[in-house]
Amino acid sequence: MQFVIIKLYLQRICERFRGDKNPLFYCRMERLSTKLKTWTSDFLENSEEFLIDIESKPPNSKYKIVIDGIKPVSIYRCSELSRHLSKLIDEDKEIEDNKGFTLEVSSPGAEKPLKFLNQYFKHIGRKLEVEKKDKTKITGVLKSIESSELVIEKNVSKKETTEEKIEFNNIEKAIVIITFK
C-alpha cells in the first residue's frame, strides 16, 4: 500500500516538473555518473591512465569524463574510451535515454590544477606554482618526487637556487606554468 502511494506521489511530482527541474532527473544523472565511473575505472584498470573526474551538468545532461596518465593521454585513447562507454550505455537496459545526453571524454587541459600525485610525474622538469594549505605559494621547477614529497627548486636570487620539499597532502592547488622559449 505504501509503495503505491509513493509511486503516485512521484508521478505527480514528475507531472509538475519537466526536464532538468524534475527531481528524478537528478537521480537518473547520479545513477549514470556512478555507472560511468565504474565502467571507466574498469577500462583503465591495467593501463597507465586513470580517472580524474566525471562532471555532470544538469541543464543539458552533459557528462564530461576527464582522464590522465603517467604519460600524456592521446586523442585516440580518449576516443577508444568514448566508444567503449557508448557501447555499454546502449546495452544497459536501466538507462533511460528519453531526454538524451552528451558524453565527452578528454584529458585535463594545461590550465587545470593537478589533483593526484600520479599526475606530477610527467611534469618533472617543468615549472609549477604550488599553493599550500596554509595559503603560501611556491613557484619553482619540479625536480623529483620522493615517496609522497615533491622536490621543488626555487630561485633565491639570479644565481642561487634552493630546494624545498612539499608533502603532497599539504598541497591545496598546483598548476603547471606554461612557458614558451
CATH of the domain at 75: 3.30.300.70
Q: Is 90 inside any structural domain?
A: yes
Arithmetic mean of pLDDT, 140-156: 93
* All cell numbers assigned to 143: 625536480
Last residue of a domain, one of 106, 129, 161: 106
**H-run or E-run covering 9:** helix 2-16
How far apart (Å, rounded) are the C-alpha atoms in residues 143 and 1?
A: 66
Does one domain contain both 59 and 95? yes
Gyration radius (Cα) of the chain, Å: 22
* Strand, helix or coil for residue 114: coil
- What's the chain's average pLDDT? 83
pTM above 0.85, yes or no: no
* All cell numbers assigned to 157: 636570487
Does one domain contain both 171 and 86? no
Q: Is 96 inside any structural domain?
A: yes
According to DSSP, residue 100 is labeled -
Q: Is 181 inside any structural domain?
A: no
Residues 73-99 pLDDT 10s: 999 999 999 999 999 988 887 776 556
* All cell numbers assigned to 53: 573526474
How far apart (Å, rounded) are the C-alpha atoms in residues 21 and 10?
A: 14
Arithmetic mean of pLDDT, 45-59: 87
Residues 11-48 pLDDT 10s: 555 555 544 444 544 455 567 888 999 999 999 999 99
Residue type, 167: E
* Domain that includes residue 133, residue range: 117-176
How far apart (Å, rounded) are the C-alpha atoms in residues 124 and 109?
A: 17
Domains: count for the chain: 2
Does one domain contain both 89 and 14? yes
